[in-house]
Amino acid sequence: MKGAYYTGKYRNLFKEAGYSDEEIQAKIKKCFNTVFYGGKDERFFEKAGEDMGYFIDTGNIDARTEGMSYGMMLCVQMDWKEEFDCFWKWAKTYMYNTEGKFKGYFGWSCTLDGRKNSEGPAPDGEEFFAMALFFASHRWGDGEGIFNYSKEAKQLLHDCIHREDGLEMWDHENKLIKFVPGCGWSDPSYHLAHFYELFAQWANEEDREFWKEAAHASREYLKKACHPVTGLAAEYAEFDGRPFGSYEQIGRHFGSRHDWFYSDSYRVAANIGLDYEWFAADEWNTECADRIQKFFAENVKNDEYMTYETDGRVIDQPALHPVGLIATLAAASLAAKGEYAMEYVKKFFNTELRTGDRRYYDNCLYLFALLALSGNYRIW
């Protein structure tokens, strides 16, 4: 099998599941309009003046590089240039570090009036910023200043890997993305080999071999980080794939355990699915997607999703983002070939956007799954 990068063909799993084009398009339109322009208790996109805007993390009341870069990716896929530029200008105006220890990176969290809560970056923001910018360049063409999208993307990727102060975002030796610059471990959900394959073509020429190696390294890393029976990955993991530590080791730094399958981890299933859809580089993606779906299909009743050890043992704590988990389980169907693949597509199609204070993260994952499963999460 060849991926969409080679064939130009993207699967529409909703249509394969029996939904009509009219039903699918109506759902996409409704959900995007709700998130961007719905009522104040539904949306989490806010304009800031005429030409800037941001996503609010409604659970924490801040703007994060995760959400800003997600917003840009969603907009370029939808051909919403005005909103894309609003996100990008806000991020460059308020989040970007023009000097200091983290020069060239984006502070991962800001107050809604633009003050940095932290100057330190979260690498998943940078990789999504870069990919969205390349897609914008190819879809709309480069503009002037910060809207010279391809120039901005190339500079950002350069700054992520060309540092001599130990604050590079990808480890120089093993080519694995770090949880944060300066640390010695990773976050499995940050590993986007399908992005790195494209960076290997579009980044500065001298960096292209690095990105090709990073794509291979990330695919091999996920084979170690995802449990061989359940398919589940931890939120943080060592460079050898083992779940990283316990509360005693890292809780004093990050406030709780992160060696279990929890909120960040949900994204791994969706990433495995999209990597397979775009490149189909490794049949392991199918095997792992099948394991993840099988685990939840056989162990969760009445949508009572919990927190789990990576080996599947239940931790007595409900999932914080159950709608996001359903979305990513469905997105895994882009790679899955087992008995539950279409079941999760249908389950997701019949799941509504989340409401309430925690809607931001769930509904970001929801919109990505909506695009991916309808054949609209594309390489531009």
The Cα 1–Cα 79 span in angstroms is 29
And the tokens for 347?
């389950």
Report which residue type is found at 378.
R
Contact (CB, 8 A) for 308 and 322: no
Other CB atoms within a 10 A radius of the CB of residue 241 amount to 19
- In 3D, which of 58, 5, 71 has the Cα closest to residue 279? 5
DSSP class of residue 94? I
| Rounded Cα distance, 185 and 91, in Å | 26
- Residues catalogued as catalytic: 66, 264
Distance, in Å, from the CA atom of 174 to the CA atom of 371, rounded to the nearest integer, reads: 32
Angle in degrees, 0-180, between the axes of helices 322-331 and 284-299, rounded to the nearest 10? 140
* Residue 21, phi then psi, degrees to nearest 5: -60, -40
Candidates 101, 162, 92; CA nearest to 129 is 92
Displacement of CA 238 from its chain's centroid (Å): 20
Query: Cα dihedral sign for 321, 326, 331, 333?
Result: positive
